[in-house]
Structure 1
């Protein structure tokens, strides 16, 4: 079972830039922090919580500061404004958040954050692997490309208002005495509801596919093919073998996968294997090494496996395992 991590309260009064840089490295991503004015001091209050692949924080930057990222984390971040303004620089683009505008983007693309005097917000972070998993579930198909999602969302809009309400509810679930917190299971469901709302409300490269009407029931040969893949997930197999076991032709099988799963049979098989390895490595009860887990899910070439795993989830297998170990340590 997932447990709440210990609360990390962070309060700085007239801090130097090194203290804030250390805070960012511990909670979000390595970064260089500087005051807005040369030689100025930084005054910040912050509280930060984490739960599995999610984290949430709230705070206020009284003095204003600039944050330049050196190795930004591959997480999607939602900023819900409480006061004043903030800008995110992404390449040549700039997203601006004021008290009426929320921001959502992938932190791995951030170049710089600029927080103006008395900027306050609630921040919610979702690991890329969690967002990919949520989108895959909504599509009922593998997510084989990066999710391109970065936008400003007016909090007065219907979608923005709902998302802001959910974000504040999430914060209220954490920022209370431990006896009054909801269970980790309930909080996990709220985080996943927030991801679903973001994916439905904010335009991205999979938006059109999400709007498509639900597919009719899968044909029997496609179901048999998937059942055969699952039953023999660790064994090498070809499209011809899968088609034979499903009682259909290779061409008909490929057409069925394209029509109902929007991919090819072998791409679907690879995604199932990758997600299986990720679940195994993230499982707190897992005792298999990375190589053993990969072989158990049908990968035999470790170098190629690591590359496709990183492409699929934005992190290496060892990073997934390290995050699991961090959660175990935090829960003890």
Structure 2
């Protein structure tokens, strides 16, 4: 994703820390949590007029990382695709275990822990977001909303917004350079992203509180089970038993919290796994084998679902990855 806009590749955590602090000055600490070979790749496409304005980033790294950051002016949406991200601030904490779910980072100082893998980040220019909220007659205090929702993935419209961002990234990956380099192309998409995010924040402010589903511990256990078995057969009855709820109750929880069925959640996670493998451009592995290893049993169904999710065929993703030079 976004491989046409490489920002840096690092082979040790000190190098990664230096580049990261240049990109995000609010970062005060970056540490590798486990011993072993380190690698990271960060690609960034700027949509705004300045280097600190609206931007989309693709981040991949190994092994686990811990990051500390102070309060931020920019608003950041994080979408872990194959990694899990846990954040904590004071006594509060929340974790998103990959699969493409999105969360907005609070503005308070916080600590983030990333497992190895890939995630996306949308950085939104705060001034433009404030103007968009004013246009909606919403005098929201953005920091208070961000700190109240605290990386909550169940905000109304947030996952639809994340899906729109993923489709935009697929479009960016597929467009010719002459289109991407046009300021009008970037401004139009920046405006759309800012307005959609402002609409989500305005709705949160209007409702005044979040509808948080019950049995969050059971939901978490079900999500963990799915991620553990996604590359094989996911036994839904065993999953429900592991979560400690009936399958019907879990289905209601998934619809309330993720706006999808359990089966759709499983497919979303498998597609994220397949895309990451296709982007590695492995020459010895066929698309069919990657589909199978990611949990799909029917190549045709996989190809259709992949095109729907990312706006391109699996072979197109793979061909682009093969054309790109190794870092």
Q: Does structure 2 retain, via aligned residues, the 8 Å contact 1:12–1:45?
A: yes
**Which of 31, 40, 57 is the matching residue for 1:44?**
40
CA drift at 1:173 = 4.9
Does the CA-based 8 Å contact 1:24-1:31 persist in structure 2? no
Q: What SS is found at the alignment partner of 1:187?
A: helix
Q: Which residue of 1 aligns with 2:58?
A: 58
Q: Does 1:133 align with 2:131?
A: yes
Q: Quick one: structure 1 residues 91 and 199, their matched pair in 2 at CA, closer, same or farther if it must change by over 3 Å?
A: farther
Equivalent residue number for residue 160 of structure 2: 162
**What is the aligned partner in structure 1 of residue 32 from structure 2?**
35
Query: Equivalent residue of 2:72, what SS?
Result: coil
**Distance 1:187-1:65 versus aligned 2 partners, 3 A rule:** same
Q: CA deviation at 1:143?
A: 5.1
2:82 equivalent to 1:86: no
Whether 2:112 is the aligned partner of 1:113: answer yes
1:87 Cα deviation after fit: 1.1
Task: Name 2:145's counterpart in structure 1.
Answer: 148
Please list every run of 5 or more consecutive structure 1 residues that lacks an aligned counterpart in the other structure.
1-5, 210-332
In the alignment, structure 2 segments of 5+ residues that lack a partner are 209-327
Number of equivalences: 195
Taking a change above 3 Å as real, the CA distance of residues 145 and 79 of structure 1, as seen in their structure-2 partners, is closer
1:73 is paired with a residue of what secondary structure? Answer: coil
User: d(CA) in 2 for partners of 1:133 and 1:27?
Assistant: 24
CA distance in 2, matches of 1:59, 1:179: 25
State the TM-score, normalized to the length of structure 1. 0.51
Provide the rounded CA distance (Å) in 1 between the counterparts of 2:184 and 2:120: 21
User: What does the per-residue CA deviation read over 1:23-44, in whole Å, with 9 as the maximum and x for residues that have no partner?
Assistant: 111212333111112x544321
Greater CA drift, 168-177 or 158-167 = 168-177
Change (3 A) 1:26 1:8: farther
> For residues 122 and 182 of structure 2, what CA distance do their matches in structure 1 show?
18
CA apart distance, 1:112: 1.1
SS of 1:22 mapped into structure 2:
helix
Moved over 6 A (4+): none
Report the Cα distance in structure 2 between the residues aligned to 1:73 and 1:41, rounded to whole angstroms: 31
Q: Which has the larger radius of gyration?
A: 1
| Partner Cα separation in structure 2 for residue 72 and residue 40 of structure 1 | 31
* Cα distance between partner residues in 2 of 1:145 and 1:124: 16
1:217-241 residue CA offsets vs partner (Å, 9 max, x unmatched)? xxxxxxxxxxxxxxxxxxxxxxxxx
**Residue 212 (structure 1) aligns with:** none
Computed over aligned residues only, the root mean square deviation of the Cα atoms, in angstroms, reads: 3.0
SS in 1 for 2:152: strand
Higher strand share: 1
Change (3 A) 1:102 1:22: same
Distance 1:90 1:131, change over 3 A: farther
Change (3 A) 1:18 1:162: same
| Structure 2 Cα separation of the partners of residues 177 and 67 of structure 1 | 35
* Contact 2:30–2:68 under 8 Å retained in 1: yes
Deviation at 1:198, TM superposition (A): 2.9
